[in-house]
Amino acid sequence: MNRSEIFARDDFTCVYCGEASPEVELSVDHVEPRMRGGDNSSGNLVTACVGCNRAKGGRAAWAYLASRPEQRARFLTQAPYVWPRLREAIREAAE
């Protein structure tokens, strides 16, 4: 998938904070960063605003969302296409 397809799939909305274009600048985020073994598949890519993407940095989404219950709930609702193992890691990190 290319950037525009990812943004369209996610309704031009950050899956972490819920902010939408054109109010915020959007970017593509790797749920599991490439430097940690993630890939460029559609099940590992989400739309994120630049602020959330910077805050997440090189961490996996489960690590970023572990202490952010509102963002975690939004992510799990807004990104049902993310690989099941990644979604499970996000759920488990909250326990």
Question: For residue 79, which amino acid is it?
Answer: A
CATH code 1.10.10 for 3-93: no
pLDDT of residue 1: 87
- Residue 71, token pair as written in the block: 């963002």
Q: How far is CA 26 from the centre of its chain?
A: 12
Cα(25)–Cα(32) distance, integer angstroms: 21
Say what the pTM is: 0.93
* E strand intervals along the chain: 26-30, 45-49
Q: Is the peptide bond between 22 and the residue preceding it cis, with omega within 30 degrees of 0? A: yes
Tell me the domain boundaries of the chain: 3-93
Question: For residue 88, which amino acid is it?
Answer: E
Cα(89)–Cα(95) distance, integer angstroms: 10
Cα(83)–Cα(42) distance, integer angstroms: 9
pLDDT in tens, the chain (95 residues): 899 999 999 999 999 999 998 889 999 999 999 999 999 999 999 999 999 999 999 999 999 999 999 999 999 999 999 999 999 999 999 88
